[in-house]
Structure 1
Amino acid sequence: MAVEVVGLLGIILMLILMFLRVPIAIAMVVPTFLGILYLKDWNTLTTAVETIIWNHSFSYTLSTIPMFVLMGELLYVCGISGELFATFRAWLSRLRGGLAMATIGSSALFAAASGSSLANTATMGVIASKEMINSGYNKSLTGGSIIAGGTLGVLIPPSTLFIIYGMMTEQSIGQLLVAGIIPGILLMVFYLVTVYIVVLIKPRLAPSIKEKVSWKEKFISLKTTIWILLLFACVVGGMYVGLFNPTEAAGVGAFLTLIIALLRRKLTLISFIEALSSTLKTTGFLFAIIIMAFLLNYFLIITKIPFLLSDFLNGLALPKFALFGIIILMYILLGAIMDSLAMVVVTLPIILPLIISMDMDLIWFGVIIVLVMELAMISPPIGMNCFVLRGAAPDLSLEDIFKGAAIFMIPIVLLIAILYLFPEIALYLPNNMY
């Protein structure tokens, strides 16, 4: 059997296993092992496994992930997320749609320290859903604004997805994290504008709130944001000015978050153990996927699938924007049927030669990849954020959540188009790092 056919059959088997709900790491490793055994031999397989797992398991860069995950877990247990929502509610509640805007704004600020889309969605789902429903907000707008805000957790640094992408493409993780700042702020603004337009067209979706908050109360509420802004300035600002590298920044961030939790007197021994336990579970899940992705990459290189696809698409002589559109469309379609993280780690080794042949900046493309992952996280029927919100907010049905999510897919697609036309939006900060 030709090596290309073996590679194609391996990909098909992997997709079948994923559709059968086999854990992602196992779904990737089974066809990889079978394919390498068929094409090579047992000694080649064991050598590849030992070499790849050893090299990447002991990568200094990998330690960045648990530190950033721990930051988000500690902030959650010390109650900062709820206070952030209260702050934005104080400032925005009198606007029509203000609670939806407050949800998005507080999610953006929480994202500046959590680095996790799922944690962002679950946290705001518990806090904001009851407030909005009790205030008379439409359930679709409620669900849509919560999961839209949750997606900001993977774009605004720190972001574990940028770290995974950086490891797989051998790009600067510091530059990738900084590249997400301006697009993250833009996406937050687009979300806010989306809420404003939606409630302008259909005022019944969001009632006016008569609650009055004095200016004194508004300014007092800002004290909670100081913790997050200081943390963001130390972690991201430290990387930007060259004070420390991403791995050191993650360690500093985790330590500062622990200090903040202790100063606020919200951290107990039980909550600290819970934060560590959750960090270990998340880290183990991500590490397994990362290591298996490198093994899968080795298998695909043997089968020459990535290079054949690159040569085929280049041979079509299509304009660059058309090829880019095909890639984005592929991710949108895959995102509807695959887990977002699996989608990227499986496809990235295949399309990377094409991206390089198109002379596209890999830092810029990292931002694009994260944006299409955001689309996948909220698109039916697999959108992970939607199911997380359903679990965190039982009052919202999946139908309501998916309806709301559809509205907020528009600003993500719009931002992807803008970044294609003006890539310097994402590249300005990384190109000016020290």
Structure 2
Amino acid sequence: MDPLTIGILGFCALFVLLFIRMPVGTSMMLVGAVGIYMIRPQASLPVLAGEIFGEASNYSLTILPLFILMGNLAGVSGMSRDLYNAAHSWFGHLKGGLASATIVGCAGFSSLSGSSLAAALTMGRVSLPEMQRFGYDNGLATGAIAAGGTLGILIPPSAGFVVYAILTEESIGRLFMAGVVPGVLLTALFITAIWLIVRRKPEKAPQSVTAEPVSKRMASLGRAFWIIGIIVLTIGGIYTGVFSAVEAAGVGAFLALIVTVIRGAASWENIRDVSLQTLKSTGTVFLILFGAFVFKTFVGFTGIPFRLTGWVEAQGFGPTAVVITILVAYIVLGTFLEGFAILVLTVPLVQPILQSLGVDLVWFGVLIVIVLEMALISPPVGINVFVVKGIADNVPLNTIFRGIWPFWFAMLLAAVLILVFPQIALLLPNTMFG
């Protein structure tokens, strides 16, 4: 059997395993190892052992557990609630203000955790009861939480950018900087979507609270000093070159631990829970990476990427047409595959094509992450929607899915803007790195 046929059968087998709900990392590792054995029997075991050891000992990947730890500590120490309270104080009196405060809170928390699920879960627990107490429409309330949580894989530190950087061998720091302006842009588009919803149907967001005086708003910012300070220090440190991305993660995690101790939240139970959550999340991501690199090697042995590259070049397609086609395919895949699965499955295939066309992989990485955000709330898989459902037991799943569509189209608009104006993503990394 020739390598190309083995490669096609390997992809079919992988989709079958994913369909029956085998974990992504295990599926890719199994298919990759068996596929390599069928093509080069003597290489199967060395590749399996070498790739697992290589990723487990990859210094750059220490950034993942450190930022996950920082986000978990922010939750148990109460810093995430302080952030939401500050956003509530500044935006709560506006029409749809509590939903907007949720978006801002998710954006801020994303700057610590790098996880969309953690952002949706943490901010959802704080904001949903508040919005329900003031009579907000359940679709708007849960949709804002699910969509706001997706900012966790766009605003640095982003686990999505870390995985993409490892797969493509791009700079993590450069990708982090590329996500800042698009993250702010998408946050603004989410708030705009809320404003348009409430303007069209005012009953979805009753006027909730009276405007607080400036002194109280400033006081709320003061209480959120710790979390704002850590965000500014870590992201600012990367931008100014004081820290590398990994060093910034270490500094941020250490400061979060200090704040947790100062606030008296460093109980044995909290530290145990935070450690377990960090280890579980880190283990999940690492298993995906182990499988991804074994599968990536298998795909390389089949020659499929080179054949695809040659076919694209023969057709004479331009870079923009290819990028748009890939993004549309990602949007379709997002309706039935989880975001990280899409990332690790497709990047080994599309990277050679994009490189041959001279596409900037940092810019493309931002576009990919936005499309993955869309996958996080796209029916029927939308993981963030099911996370929110776990918080909102009394809200039907269909109501949550109806509530996400304005935010889904806001993400689509953000992707179009970055596609047309690449400098939105490239301004900061180009300023920093030249």
Cα deviations across residues 273-297 of structure 1 (Å, max 9, x unaligned)? 1101100000011001111101000
Determine if the alignment matches structure 1 residue 154 to structure 2 residue 148.
Answer: no
The CA deviation at 1:170 is 0.7
CA distance in 2: counterparts of 1:193 and 1:292, whole angstroms:
40
Contact persistence 2:162–2:172 (CA under 8 A): yes
The CA deviation at 1:10 is 0.4
Aligned to 1:398: 397
Aligned to 1:83: 82
Cα deviations across residues 266-316 of structure 1 (Å, max 9, x unaligned)? 221210111011000000110011111010000000011122222223333
Larger mean CA deviation between 140-149 and 76-85 belongs to 76-85
Task: Name the TM-score, length of structure 1 as normaliser.
Answer: 0.97
Aligned to 1:409: 408
Aligned to 2:265: 266
The CA deviation at 1:319 is 3.5
The CA deviation at 1:212 is 4.7
* Aligned ranges 1:218-297 → 2 under 5 Å: 218-297=217-296
Q: Give the aligned CA root-mean-square deviation in angstroms.
A: 1.3
* Aligned ranges 1:1-400 → 2 under 5 Å: 1-41=1-41, 43-400=42-399
Once the two structures are aligned, what percentage of the paired residues are identical? Answer: 38
SS at match of 2:206: coil
SS at match of 2:255: helix
Structure 1 runs (4+) greater than 4 angstroms displaced: none
Cα deviations across residues 81-120 of structure 1 (Å, max 9, x unaligned)? 2222222112212211111101101111111111110000
Contact persistence 1:112–1:228 (CA under 8 A): no
The CA deviation at 1:40 is 1.5
One-letter amino acid of the counterpart of residue 305, structure 2: P
- Residue-pair matches, total: 433
CA distance in 1: counterparts of 2:155 and 2:230, whole angstroms:
13
CA distance in 1: counterparts of 2:308 and 2:96, whole angstroms:
46
The CA deviation at 1:210 is 4.4
Structure 1 residues 211 and 331: CA distance shift in structure 2, 3 A: same
CA distance in 1: counterparts of 2:76 and 2:54, whole angstroms:
34
The CA deviation at 1:383 is 0.8
The CA deviation at 1:166 is 0.8
Contact persistence 1:111–1:120 (CA under 8 A): yes
CA distance in 2: counterparts of 1:36 and 1:282, whole angstroms:
29
CA distance in 1: counterparts of 2:103 and 2:126, whole angstroms:
12
One-letter amino acid of the counterpart of residue 309, structure 2: S
Structure 1 residues 224 and 310: CA distance shift in structure 2, 3 A: farther
Contact persistence 2:4–2:303 (CA under 8 A): yes
CA distance in 2: counterparts of 1:286 and 1:227, whole angstroms:
28
Task: Name the TM-score, length of structure 2 as normaliser.
Answer: 0.97
CA distance in 2: counterparts of 1:235 and 1:215, whole angstroms:
28
CA distance in 2: counterparts of 1:250 and 1:210, whole angstroms:
37
CA distance in 2: counterparts of 1:4 and 1:60, whole angstroms:
34
Contact persistence 1:32–1:296 (CA under 8 A): yes
CA distance in 2: counterparts of 1:270 and 1:18, whole angstroms:
36
Structure 1 residues 70 and 356: CA distance shift in structure 2, 3 A: same
Contact persistence 1:95–1:208 (CA under 8 A): yes
Gaps of 5+ in 1: none
